[in-house]
Amino acid sequence: MKSAIRYLLFVFLAVMITGCMNDYSSKPVCRVENGRIIFKLDKRWSDQEMKEILSQYDLDSSLVAKAYSGKGEVMIDSILWKYRTVNPFFAELSKPLDKRSGDFLQKNEVLIINDSWIRKPLFVESAPVVSGLNSFRRRGAFKYENEVAQFFLPNYKDASNIYLSGTFNDWSTMQSPMTACDSGWILRISLKPGKYLYRYIVDGKWGTDPNNELQERDDERRNNSVVFCYNHRFALKDKTEAKKVIVTGNFTNWSRDKFPMERNSNGWSLDLYLQEGTYAYKFIADGKWLADPANTDNRKDANGNLNSFFSIGELFTFRLSDYLSATKIILAGSFNKWRQDELVMTRDNTGWQLPLALAPGNYEYKFIVDGDWITDPANPYKTGSGDYTNSFMAFKPNHTFVLENYSDAANVNLAGSFNGWSADSYRMVKKDGKWTISLYLKPGKYTYKFIVDRKWILDPGNEIYEANEYGTNNSVLWIEQ
């Protein structure tokens, strides 16, 4: 009888425990109760699961180990954590909710979240395109000549206003109004060669270009029209008897069909957008491959095939005067990842020179004269200090920083969001009593300060500044498109 009661008691207890465990296992990993965050830990998690959960909730692994050791409290970084073992499988960790957690939710404050929280990335920069060809359903819908683009949207007679908005005007909804003409709406704007995304805004409503077949989805899953402003024309003067001529090259992975040429009065031609760089190409006339007969830069590849070459982008000629007795001078810089064997300079009557195709930007460089690294004696602009001093140049700079009235300062440096606030990377140069440095800066916002003999100051010539976390303010500069 006793054993029967014992047995029943055991069964009852077992049922109770299992019941409790089931109830507990249905609880979520993280919950909030009575002002505390409670984490449920499960001993049966694999190492991988445990690792993921720890990172998801930003938890300390040593705390987790403690939670299975019974019941107690532990202070970490002035936060009192409580832990308890619930049953053989589960343990709990808890801490009070951060009292400051809502402090940023003030009146008239916007709430900005971390991009990483959102499952899809917010800012997907479209991959740089090597080459591009437009595809318009209607010939007049887009024209590009002499760096002027003409956008034409036919019809919409009843619209009261139409704007063009795109990457070229920073998606402005007010800057580029179109003009009504008898058959539609038209706008001419200056554009550099490149790839652009755009949409039309008809009486406040966004829409893609109905005559443009090229579209790209942005990160908000909205469609944009895509247009290329061309910077290169392929032309083949002969082969008028051919039925089909294709241009191909390393810019299109030597595709045999992507870029068919158009027939004109004296041969074949095709306009394309190509990003800056050096390209090899060939024509395919009715299946037969041929190098460009009009190109003087035809070179044989390793297999003996003759390819035509050309470059897009402007050249900058680096010069080093004198050193005529040197046997080998190499140019190395941030433009070629400081490789010491690539850019061999050529000697002429007065020194050494090397033309190099560069994208607009800010570069550091040095010359290697028979193994000795030297800065450019003809360039006063330098970055860094001591042994780490390099020459500095901006190719196609679009902004000049000027500091006046500090002519007796010994050193003035420029630090800002463009150089990671490095205090010694951009040294300004004194000329006619003013300190200056020119930079190439992409469109967007920059914050900066001058460092005059180690003292950080705002730009006295710029009245735009904003608060920083140190309460000392930073100057603000916007570079427009």
* Interface positions with another protein (CB under 8 A): 28-35, 37, 56-59, 97-115, 117-118, 122-123, 160, 163, 165, 171-175, 201, 203-206, 220, 222, 417, 444-445, 447, 463-467, 469, 476, 478
Quote the CA–CA distance of 58 and 52 in Å, as a whole number.
10
Quote the CA–CA distance of 342 and 331 in Å, as a whole number.
8
Cβ proximity to another protein, 70 vs 444, nearer residue: 444
Kindly state the smallest distance separating residue 193's Cβ from another protein, in Å.
24
Kindly state the smallest distance separating residue 379's Cβ from another protein, in Å.
32
Give me 361's structure tokens.
């930007």
Sign of the C-alpha dihedral, residues 164, 170, 171, 176? negative
Cβ proximity to another protein, 20 vs 464, nearer residue: 464
Kindly state the smallest distance separating residue 448's Cβ from another protein, in Å.
13
Kindly state the smallest distance separating residue 71's Cβ from another protein, in Å.
22
Inter-residue contact 95 to 81 (CB < 8 Å) = yes
Kindly state the smallest distance separating residue 344's Cβ from another protein, in Å.
41
Kindly state the smallest distance separating residue 64's Cβ from another protein, in Å.
14
Cβ proximity to another protein, 99 vs 139, nearer residue: 99
Cβ proximity to another protein, 433 vs 444, nearer residue: 444
HEC string for 414-469 = EEEHHHCCCCCCEECEEECCEEEEEECCCCEEEEEEEEECCEEECCCCCCCEECCC
Question: Amino acid identity, residue 194?
Answer: G
DSSP 123-153: --PPPPPSEE---BSSGGGEEEETTEEEEEE
Instruction: Specify burial of residue 331 (Cβ count, 10 A radius: 0-12, 13-18, 19+).
Output: buried
| Site of tokens 């500091």 | 403
Cβ proximity to another protein, 40 vs 427, nearer residue: 40
Kindly state the smallest distance separating residue 28's Cβ from another protein, in Å.
6
Cβ proximity to another protein, 204 vs 304, nearer residue: 204
Closest alpha carbon to 401 in 481, 471, 475: 475
DSSP 199-247: EEEETTEEE--TTB--EEE-TTS-EEEEEEE--EEEEE-S-TT-S-EEE
Quote the CA–CA distance of 367 and 157 in Å, as a whole number.
63
Kindly state the smallest distance separating residue 43's Cβ from another protein, in Å.
21
Kindly state the smallest distance separating residue 13's Cβ from another protein, in Å.
28
Cβ proximity to another protein, 77 vs 301, nearer residue: 77
Q: H or E stretch including 61? A: helix 61-67
Inter-residue contact 365 to 391 (CB < 8 Å) = yes
Cβ proximity to another protein, 23 vs 220, nearer residue: 220
Cβ proximity to another protein, 432 vs 469, nearer residue: 469
